[in-house]
Every structure is written in structure tokens, then in C-alpha cells.
Amino acid sequence: MAFVGPHYAFAQEQDPGVLSDVGSYNADARSARITNLKTQYKINLSEKEKALVSSRCEGAQSELRKISARLITTKKDREAVYSNTVITLIRLKTLLETKQIDTSNIDLLIVSYQQKKATFDVAVLAYELSLEDVTSIDCVKSPEDFRAGLEGVRGARKPIVDASAQIQDITRSNLKTTFDTIRIKLQTVEG
């Protein structure tokens, strides 16, 4: 996962060797993350367990690569839905302001959506990184590292599920309440 952007291009123009060690940094950072996971999850496999993990890990890595590929699609789909929701709320707010109706409920809803979306985005990035870590390990030679990475993937998945659930809760309860309030205000203005 190399950084590409205007800052990278600028650094390359100034000194082509400036980011030449990015690959080693990624490997060092990955190694540090895996070491932390081994400690966190107390991974210490017996020789029999190591042999079992080594014999099955390449198939598991293949499945994890598929999950990683699907995650890209899921991330884009969710991004579109969440962004469209916020855009729709902003448009609705503008319409209500032209009718001089209080839009504070919509303001709060927009902020809530944006905060939860940011939490979701951070969780997805962490999950992507954990998937990249576990699929980059030579799992046959390093079964304990693979096992630790796998635990990291499992741990990184939960915040995504939690963030998604929170967004669904906002949609179900807050959005409905906000629209009910708007409908009452509109009936008051028109009535």
C-alpha cells in the first residue's frame, strides 16, 4: 500500500531517493504489528499446531484475498449510500430553510452520519491493513505469525460491524424521528 499523491510526487522531484525505503518501512511496520499481535493473543503454537497451520494456511490466505477483493466493492457501495444520505439531508435542509423551518434536527443528523461514517472509514482501513498483513506473510515458514495475523483480522472486523450497526441505528431511529418532526413542522406552517 504505497502512498501516491501530490506530496509523493513533490518528494520525488526534490530527491528521488527520499522514499526509496518505503518497502522496508512497510515490512518493518508489518513485522512490528505481527509481533504485537503475537503478544496480544499469546500465540505460542506447539510443533504439531505449527505443522497443521502450515499445511492449511495457503488456502486460508487465498480466501482472505477474496475477502479483501470483496471489501473494495463493499467499501465503495457503502461510501455511495452514506454520501448520498448526507447529500439528501443537506438538500432537504436547504429546502426547509427556504420555508423558514428550524433545521437543527437535520444538522444533528448530518453530523451524526458524518461522525459514524468517519468511524466506519477508519475501521475499514484497519481491516484492509490487517488483511494485507496476513496475506503477505509466508505462512508456511511462519505459522505463528500467520496465526497472529489471522487473530488481527478477526479483531479488525468487529469495529466495522459495530460502525455499520451504529449507522443503521441512526437510520432507523434518528432519521425517522427527524422526518416525523419535519412533517409536523410542515403541517404547522402549511396549516
Q: Which amino acid is at 61?
A: Q
Q: How many residues does the chain have?
A: 191
The full DSSP string for 54-72 is HHHHHHHHHHHHHHHHHHH
Q: What is the pLDDT of residue 187?
A: 81
Q: Count helices and strands (H / E) in the chain.
A: 6, 0
Closest by Cα among 166, 186, 81, 72 to 116: 166
Whether the pLDDT of residue 14 is over 60: the answer is no
Position 10: which residue type? Answer: F
Of 127, 119, 123, whose CA–CA distance to 170 is shortest? 119
| Summary mean pLDDT of the chain | 86
**Predicted confidence band at 191 (pLDDT cuts at 50, 70, 90)?**
low
pTM of the model: 0.79
User: Has residue 98 got a pLDDT over 50?
Assistant: yes
Q: Does position 172 have pLDDT exceeding 50, yes or no?
A: yes
> In which band, very low, low, confident or very high, does the pLDDT at 37 lie, cut at 50, 70 and 90?
very high
Residue 102 sits at φ, ψ, to 5 deg, of -60, 130
With a cut of 50, say whether residue 153 has pLDDT above it: yes
Neighbours of 42 (CB within 10 A): 8
d(CA 169, CA 82): 13
- C-alpha–C-alpha distance, residues 76 and 70, integer Å: 10
